[in-house]
Amino acid sequence: MGSIAGPGSRFPTGVQALPVDAPVVDFIDLLKRDGGVIIRNFVPLDIIDQANKEIWPQIEKEQAWSGEFFPKETRKCTSLVRHSPTYTNRFLMHPLYQAVADHFLTTRNHFWWGNSWKESVSKPQAHTGAAMCIGPGAKAQPLHRDDYLHHNVHTEVDIWDDGRDRMRESAVGLFVAGSDTSVANGATRFIPGSHLWGNYERKSPPDESLAVYAELNKGDAFFMFASCFHGGSANTTTDSHRLVYSTFVTRGWLRQEDNMYLSIPHDVLMQYDRKIQKFLGYSCSDPGCGLVDDLDPIYQLYPEELAKAVPQDY
Ligand SMILES: O=C(O)CCC(=O)C(=O)O
Ligand SMILES: [Fe+2]
């Protein structure tokens, strides 16, 4: 970590915190170097309060998780797009997050198609969104890599290489602080540099002593590759609840963690604009994944356009 040359070497060693208006390339380079970077003042506090109000009824009625992954003291609001327009419009669609996700998760390749050397460009899509409120007394989540969902098997590398690693990441995470988060109340911890680790080269479990806590003020955020070892931490307080909005965006040709088609009712979907609908999965991944009767799925939402739509090459 904190390598000699390579992306992000102009920054001091250690996990960095940048203001939201820092250049996008700084966030990109620090992700390549460390796998995670903190963003100060990602959204204003009144926006956080609005989102918190929208999700709170769900948090209150959530059933406790049975198993090891979430402690019984954690309550969640899953399917955030369904429950919180503020989350959708201001966190998921935040221009900085969109730019960073677009950078790492757009897939561009060339293929022979008859005599044409055709370029296909698949754009990223929403993957999952859940708010997590860790209550007093909760145990730490096991350290894990979220990209195991996509069976993303990594080879061990020393340093990020743009050419070699352009397909390496399958998802980019955004954690927005709905409350202050600290070592004491369960801040997300992660192992900087662990996005460069191999799956099969490392024979021992992730070393907890390497973990760094992404301590955030309410309204701050944290970007992290899904390939980094991380987890929610223990809440050792007696009275503080840690609330974080967790989001992942993935490649257009991968299956989404949240089944957006079944979890977002039609009337809710139609309250969002077309750009958001497409990002949620109502669009094709170029070339030709996600079709309905050979047509782009967005037409299912606009029957007046469907009548005139014609199937085309992709
Ligand atoms: O709550 C957190 O800080 C992280 C949660 C997490 O890693 C997960 O649910 O996969
Ligand atoms: Fe996770």
Ordered domains of the chain (ranges, CATH): 17-282 (2.60.120.620), 284-314 (no CATH)
Query: What percent of the chain is modeled with pLDDT above 70?
Result: 99
Position 113 confidence tier, pLDDT thresholds 50, 70, 90: very high
pLDDT score recorded for residue 66:
80
Mean predicted confidence (pLDDT) in 56-82: 90
Q: Please, what is the average pLDDT of the chain? A: 96
* Mean predicted confidence (pLDDT) in 288-301: 96
In this predicted structure, what is the pLDDT of residue 4?
60
Mean pLDDT across 29-42 = 98
Ligand 1 center to 192 CA (angstroms): 16
**Dist. CA 23 → ligand 1 center (Å):** 27
Output DSSP code: residue 256: P
Rounded CA separation 108/119 (Å): 7
pLDDT at 85: 98
Is-contact 121 287, C-beta < 8 A?
Answer: no
Considering only residues 95 and 73, tell me which one the structure prediction assigns the higher pLDDT.
95
Q: Specify burial of residue 27 (Cβ count, 10 A radius: 0-12, 13-18, 19+).
A: buried
Residue 101: which pLDDT band, with cuts at 50, 70 and 90?
A: very high
Six-digit token string for 150: 């996509």
- Ligand 1 atom 7: residue of nearest CA: 231
Give me the mean pLDDT over the 67-78 stretch.
89
Q: Is 216 in the pocket of ligand 1 (CB under 6 A)?
A: no
User: If you take atom 5 of ligand 1, which residue's CA is the nearest one?
Assistant: 232
Ligand 1 centroid from CA 4, angstroms: 31
Helix (H) or strand (E) holding 288: none
Question: Which ligand 1 atom sits nearest the alpha carbon of residue 175?
Answer: 3
Angle at 234 between CA 149 and CA 151, to 5 degrees: 10
- Ligand 2: centre distance to CA 305 (Å): 40
Cα angle 147-151-155, degrees, rounded to a multiple of 5: 85
Return the ligand 1 atom nearest residue 74 CA.
1
**Confidence check: pLDDT of 2 > 50:** no
Contact 246, 169 (CB under 8 A): no
- Give 250-291 pLDDT, tens digit per residue: 999 999 999 999 999 999 999 999 999 999 999 999 999 999
Ligand with smallest separation from the Cα of 146 = 2
Q: What are phi and psi of 177, to 5 degrees?
A: -80, 115
Determine the longest span between alpha carbons in the chain, in angstroms: 68
> Is residue 143 very low, low, confident or very high in pLDDT (cuts 50, 70, 90)?
very high
Check if 146 has its Cβ closer than 6 Å to any atom of ligand 1.
yes
pLDDT at 65: 83
Q: Which of 246, 247, 250 to mutate to test the pocket of ligand 1 (most atoms within 8 A of CB)?
A: 246
- Between 6 and 100, the more confident residue is 100
Ligand 1 pocket member 138 (CB < 6 A): no
What type of residue is 303?
Answer: P
User: Residue 11 Cα, ligand 2 centroid: separation in angstroms?
Assistant: 26
CA dist 139 and 242 (Å) reads: 13
Task: Report, as an integer, the average pLDDT of 113-131.
Answer: 97
Site to substitute for ligand 1 among 141, 182, 229, most atoms within 8 A of C-beta: 141
Q: What is the pLDDT of residue 138?
A: 95
137 CA → ligand 2 middle, Å: 20
Q: Is the pLDDT of residue 3 over 50?
A: no
